[in-house]
């Protein structure tokens, strides 16, 4: 169990400003289903910070989920998530975000526009594109 899961006072890694237990943890633990693609995006970011391979696979559209390992035991230090735009459209949605992280002391940014689809009331990550700088 991670330090975040053991310390109930921690703010959620997704930068919502909510306590982890009242935000992404309920989706990651399976106690609830993410009601929107944005909520799923946030919970997937939190799952990356927790290195939760099972949740990442469970929330990835099976048609596009890679065979290779998704989460890694690398020294990534996740620093924050900024949701730039959320565009719902029925059973499809896009979420534009910037995730900040460090590897080996060097700062990086991942700027992505992610596509999501809803099947039987559950949202799934499909894929993402990377806007030009």
| CA quadruple 118, 39, 30, 47: dihedral sign | positive
What is the per-residue pLDDT for 133? 64
Per CATH, which fold does 3-129 belong to? Nuclear Transport Factor 2; Chain: A, (3.10.450)
* Domains in the chain: boundaries: 3-129
- Quote the pTM value: 0.90
Q: Which H helix or E strand runs over 109?
A: strand 106-119
User: pLDDT tens digit string along 71-104?
Assistant: 776 788 999 999 999 999 999 999 999 999 999 8
Residue ranges of the chain with per-residue pLDDT less than 70: 1-9, 73, 133
Q: Are 126 and 112 in contact (CB under 8 A)?
A: no
């Amino acid at each position: 169990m991670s330090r975040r899961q053991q310390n109930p006072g921690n703010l959620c890694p997704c930068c919502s400003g909510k306590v982890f237990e009242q935000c992404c943890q309920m989706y990651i633990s399976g106690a609830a289903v993410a009601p929107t693609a944005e909520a799923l995006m946030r919970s997937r970011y939190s799952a990356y910070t927790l290195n939760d391979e099972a949740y990442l696979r469970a929330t990835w559209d099976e048609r596009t989920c890679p065979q290779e390992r998704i989460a890694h035991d690398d020294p990534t230090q996740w620093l924050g998530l900024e949701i730039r735009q959320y565009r719902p459209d029925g059973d499809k949605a896009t979420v534009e975000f910037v995730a900040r992280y460090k590897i080996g002391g060097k700062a990086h940014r991942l700027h992505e526009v992610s596509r999501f689809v809803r099947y039987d009331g559950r949202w799934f990550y499909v894929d993402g594109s990377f806007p030009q700088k």
